[in-house]
Amino acid sequence: MSSSKNICPLCGGLKKNGTTTFTADMEDTLVVIRNVPATLCSLCGNEWLSDEVAANVERIVEEAKSIHRQVEVTRYRKVA
């Protein structure tokens, strides 16, 4: 039996661990991060990032902005 934390609050589908592609489109920079760990709904496709992963994604985006890249495509990685 699935616990309520494994049920999508939007559609009632089952949530499962997987990966996603995160895209941030800002004024002068487009950042695409592949293979981001996420929880995915098997029915509606909604995605959730843990607080730790979201903070790390934010650091990757800020890093790309700080080196003034117009387009940055990278894989998910831990950033200090």
pLDDT at 80: 77
Residues 6+ apart with CB under 8 A from 65: 26, 28, 29, 31
The domain ranges of the chain are 4-75
Q: How does residue 71 score in pLDDT terms, banded at 50, 70 and 90? A: very high
Q: Are 37 and 53 within 8 A, CB to CB?
A: yes
Helix (H), strand (E) at residue 68: none
Write the CATH number of the domain with boundaries 4-75.
Answer: 3.10.20.860
Q: What mean pLDDT is reported for the chain?
A: 92
